[in-house]
Amino acid sequence: MTRLRILVLALLATVFVAAGGPPAHGVDYDHETSYSCTSAYGGGTAAGVVSVGLPKRVQAGERLRARPIEVTIVVPSDLVDTLRENDVDSIEGTSDDATYRLKKRGTKAIVKPINDLVVPETAVPAEGDMTLIGTGTASGHTFRRAGLYSVLVPKAFTADGTAHGVPIVGDLDFTMSCALASGAPAKIASLRVVR
């Protein structure tokens, strides 16, 4: 797999997310997981950390508010060197089908959208590592039933990206399909809904 393909996978690691943003009376979680991704340009496994703020409990009938999300990944200098060697000026990406899931044992998972998930155009630095930051809004949910719910990352998602300044072509667009890697942890946290 070429280094440019590996870097594309690193970009995609910032585009998978679960609900985030610290709530009142909440706990911050850092969740490590990985996705297997494929595209016309190759594939591989992308790893990342999802930082999430969630309450420990909510009342049945209470709404878990929509919340901003932010996911950060630092792309190692040796991979960024490949971008520099190929005169790539910047990269960016989006996902229109990213979700998070709420799962109570013995029931079907509740799938909630993450809206406006974007890694804005980020300049390739002249040297060193490259930090990519993805942001969006995780939709809220009103819990009707009491119980213990697992908050889970998406099983799968699609991401669209662009590498800007590629010689001859200018911009290189790509689409990747990603699925939770075999054995990768999906559970971010537990949320208790009480009556």
Spell out the SS3 assignment of 83-127: HHHCCCCEEEEEECCCEEEEEECCCCCEEEEEEEEEEEEEECCCC
Q: Is the pLDDT of residue 8 over 50?
A: no
Lowest average pLDDT, out of 20-24, 36-40, 78-82, 110-114, goes to: 20-24
Looking at residue 44, its pLDDT comes to 63
Higher pLDDT, 133 or 74: 133
Number of neighbouring beta carbons within 10 Å of residue 22 = 15
pLDDT tens string 125-175: 999 988 777 788 889 999 999 999 999 988 888 888 898 998 888 898 888
Q: Fill in the amino acid letter for 154.
A: P
Q: Is the pLDDT of residue 113 over 50?
A: yes
Mean per-residue pLDDT, 70-86: 75
CATH of the domain at 120: 2.60.40
Here the tokens at position 148 are 């213990």
Looking at residue 158, its pLDDT comes to 84
Looking at residue 192, its pLDDT comes to 95
Q: Is the pLDDT of residue 60 over 60?
A: yes
Domain that holds residue 111: 3-194
Distance CA 110, CA 49 (A): 22
Spell out the SS3 assignment of the chain: CCHHHHHHHHHHHCCCCCCCCCCCCEEEEEEEEEEEEEECCEEEEEEEEEEEEEECEEECCCEECCEEEEEEEEECHHHHHHHHHCCCCEEEEEECCCEEEEEECCCCCEEEEEEEEEEEEEECCCCCCEEEEEEEEECCEECCCCEEEEEECCCEEEEEEEEEEECCCEEEEEEEEEEECCCCCCEEEEEEEEC
Distance CA 156, CA 99 (A): 9
Here the tokens at position 119 are 């890694």
- Whether the model pTM is above 0.85: no
**Band (123; pLDDT cuts 50, 70, 90):** very high
Q: Over the chain, what is the mean pLDDT?
A: 80
Higher pLDDT, 101 or 27: 101
Q: Is the pLDDT of residue 73 over 90?
A: no
Distance CA 154, CA 146 (A): 23
Residue 14's Cβ-side half-sphere holds a number of Cα atoms within 13 Å equal to 29
Looking at residue 19, its pLDDT comes to 40
Higher pLDDT, 39 or 96: 96
Number of domains in the chain: 1
Looking at residue 150, its pLDDT comes to 95
Mean per-residue pLDDT, 57-77: 81
